[in-house]
Structure 1
Amino acid sequence: MDFEEIVIRTDRLDFPALVAGDGPVVVCWHGFPDHPATFGPLAEHLVAAGRRVVAPFLRGHHPATAEQMPYGDGLTLAADGAAVAEALSPDAPVDMIGHDIGAGIVGRLAAVWPERLRRGVTMAVPPPRTLPAMLSDPAQQQRLFYMWLFQLPDIAEAVLETDRRLVDYLWSTWSPGLDPGEHRERVHAVYGDPRLLRNALRIYRGNFDRALHDPELGPLAARSEVPADIPLLVLAGEDDGCIPPEYFADAEAGLAPGSSVRIIPGAGHFMQLDQPAEVARIVLDWINT
């Protein structure tokens, strides 16, 4: 997919983004360790179906925003998602897909700013309400070893700045058998920039360190973690080595009525690359209703 890079100007931040196609907007938010261009194979199908795909860089994940990440909490990122949606479509809600960290953006945006979301899709991460049970499982704690490593100041930076073998390891275990091809170089370039790497670590540390939470958004925090009032499509990869599909079994308990949870056969964590045609089919069925 040949993307064009643009800048989306919002009242919060100017977001660099990759765009392709014409028609109703589908905003795609990436996760870690990732790059917006990995939405390319999925975007080809969405563009062919008459959609304009907009894939922003997360705050602090592009050189233009490297110095603009004072906070790393999930609510900050969701507020960014709402601002981007408003800038792209001031008078109507937009369709939105979130993968990994991006799934948290879509879920929290749906709960706090539902007027900005027409149809939402989350990929590879279950709803917030199901996370405590998942995190209490020692086997899952082991799979999430990188999250605990990232809490260690200086050590995490040293591990990731020395080389990107950990990034390659996560990709190979999360989507077994996937050859990332040209995306490997893109992802390495992002986390090879110490400024962008530190910003990614701030997101993970923001899960536990309240000093990284924006106090102005604090009154919205409780609302952001409960099920949204609007239905969501939740996708999981059958072969995901980060969060296996069994942790999505109770996902509907954390979702609004009318939501749907789907397991993608033959897909790992990076399902937009593993099975782009099947993911596109399911997504288009969802957003076209």
Structure 2
Amino acid sequence: MSTLPAYEAAMLPPGLRARLIPGINGLTMHVLEAGEPGRPCLLLLHGFPELAWSWRKVMPALAAAGYHVVAPDQRGYGRTTGWSADYDGDLAPFRMLNLVRDQLGLVAALGYGHVEAVIGHDFGSPVAAWCALIRPDIFRRVALMSAPFAGPPDLPEEDPNRQPAPDIHAALAALPRPRKHYQWYYSERGADENMWRCPQGVHAFLRAYYHVKSADWPANRPFHLAGWTAEALAQMPTYYIMDRDRGMAETVAPEMPGAEAIAACRWLPERDLAVYAAEYGRTGFQGGLNWYRCRTTGRFEAEAQVFAGRTIDVPSLFIAGASDWGIEQVPGALRRMRELACTRMSGVHLIPGAGHWVQQEQPERVAELLLAWLG
């Protein structure tokens, strides 16, 4: 993958700057920064399908409070290079422990012995959680956003009489309206092509995708699900539990907002969306999709079980949109995070007027909560 220059200053909000940092665990990492180097550092980790760009609205407020704020394009994304988009390539570089290794390398390259907090959104949330779980000496606090962390997987040897879980995929496919889980769809060979080469184009696809998972989509009214069963999961919107014979591009297309709604969307105006569309139009989505493949194949489960029973013991915080189904997509995960996985969680905040893209939809409130927590 060819190396592109960092974002030009003209495309960045005031107070932000961009640069490339080579030699980080095999990557040349593209990062956005705000605030002066040498100040206490905050590390911000994005999710899918986003970029460091997703933090553009909260970074200035955090920097104004005295922090050096750093947000990388993570492995598989944007202008960070050194990774392969080959579906048949090695998945190991995208496994969770190596994603943590990427962030350790970035902290070292920045010249810090530790960061004040690591803050992760969506798939960046488990990366942040694992950073704090494994290296609490370096990642002194952790804020998780939109995706609860239920802890490391258990050792199966602790319950040798446990029965195998029912095949949730067969059960979903057998529903009267046959369905499939989006994470396993994202693991299929054709998922990247479906979204990258969709008839409506990447810009329109992302507009519909971001819209349908935001508070702007009135059907986003999450509630607790009874359990990990096909009948319970099928109560979620189709961007999570998809129709069996549709790809994601076809799933979100009917919810494409009209011109008036797009013009009224202050949290993601067309000029901001164009940055996402240009980057994903160039790279495709496979880099981020490989993270899902690491999870769904189970290939690295035993490695994660090394940390079975270990808790996050640094100060922690959880923030999500009140209209975000992500907090309920794994039944019981929110409770496990609060009661078991995080021993020093100071609060769970569900922000009205925000869906899944909470730091973009309600950046002022997110920055306020983070700064109050940081003290």
- TM tier relative to shorter chain: 0.7 to 0.9
Instruction: Say whether the 8 Å CA contact 2:140–2:315 is kept in structure 1.
Output: no
Instruction: Say whether the 8 Å CA contact 2:45–2:121 is kept in structure 1.
Output: yes
Q: Which residue of 2 is the match for residue 285 of structure 1? A: 372
Match of 1:107 among 129, 138, 146: 129
Q: What are the Cα deviations for residues 112-170 of structure 1, in whole angstroms up to 9, with x where unaligned?
A: 111111221111000134999xxx8x99xx998432221211x2122112233543333
**Bigger Cα displacement from structure 2, 71-80 vs 48-57:** 71-80
Residue 120 (structure 2) pairs with residue 83 (structure 1)? no
CA distance in 1, matches of 2:305, 2:104: 15
Q: What are the Cα deviations for residues 30-52 of structure 1, in whole angstroms up to 9, with x where unaligned?
A: 11111212211111211221222
Q: Which residue of 1 is the match for residue 280 of structure 2? A: 191
Q: Which residue of 1 is the match for residue 192 of structure 2? A: 157
CA distance in 1, matches of 2:289, 2:363: 28
CA distance in 2, matches of 1:241, 1:114: 29
Q: What are the Cα deviations for residues 252-282 of structure 1, in whole angstroms up to 9, with x where unaligned?
A: 1233322132222222111111111111111
CA distance in 1, matches of 2:47, 2:336: 23
Q: Which residue of 2 is the match for residue 252 of structure 1? A: 338
- The 1:143/1:180 distance shift into structure 2, 3 A limit, reads farther
Q: What are the Cα deviations for residues 25-80 of structure 1, in whole angstroms up to 9, with x where unaligned?
A: 11111111112122111112112212221110101213451535742222221221
* 1:62-101 superposed matches below 5 A: 62-65=78-81, 67=83, 70=90, 71-101=93-123
Q: Which residue of 2 is the match for residue 7 of structure 1? A: 20
Residue type of the partner of 2:127? I
Q: Which residue of 2 is the match for residue 59 of structure 1? A: 75
CA distance in 1, matches of 2:180, 2:367: 28
Q: Which residue of 2 is the match for residue 24 of structure 1? A: 40
Residue 205 (structure 2) pairs with residue 119 (structure 1)? no
Q: Which residue of 1 is the match for residue 361 of structure 2? A: 274
Q: Which residue of 2 is the match for residue 265 of structure 1? A: 352
CA distance in 2, matches of 1:93, 1:264: 26
- The 1:53/1:131 distance shift into structure 2, 3 A limit, reads same
More helix by share: 1
Paired positions, count: 279
Q: Which entry has the higher C-alpha Rg, 1 or 2?
A: 2
Instruction: State the SS of the aligned residue for 2:342.
Output: coil
Instruction: State the SS of the aligned residue for 1:17.
Output: strand
The CA deviation at 1:94 is 3.3
Q: What is the alpha-carbon root mean square deviation over aligned residues?
A: 3.3
Instruction: Say whether the 8 Å CA contact 2:41–2:115 is kept in structure 1.
Output: no
- The 1:128/1:74 distance shift into structure 2, 3 A limit, reads farther
Q: Which residue of 2 is the match for residue 204 of structure 1? A: 292
Instruction: State the SS of the aligned residue for 2:296.
Output: coil
Q: Which residue of 2 is the match for residue 48 of structure 1? A: 64
Residue 183 (structure 2) pairs with residue 147 (structure 1)? yes
Match of 1:223 among 298, 301, 307: 307
Instruction: State the SS of the aligned residue for 1:118.
Output: coil
**Bigger Cα displacement from structure 2, 29-38 vs 2-11:** 2-11
Instruction: State the SS of the aligned residue for 2:194.
Output: helix
Uncovered stretches (5+) of structure 1, i.e. residues with no partner: none
Residue type of the partner of 2:306? A
Residue type of the partner of 2:345? S
Instruction: State the SS of the aligned residue for 1:234.
Output: strand
- The 1:158/1:282 distance shift into structure 2, 3 A limit, reads same
**Bigger Cα displacement from structure 2, 123-132 vs 73-82:** 123-132
Residue type of the partner of 1:176? A
Residue 320 (structure 2) pairs with residue 236 (structure 1)? yes
Residue type of the partner of 2:78? H
Could you state the TM-score of these two structures normalised by the residue count of structure 2?
0.65
Uncovered stretches (5+) of structure 2, i.e. residues with no partner: 1-12, 155-167, 173-177, 217-264
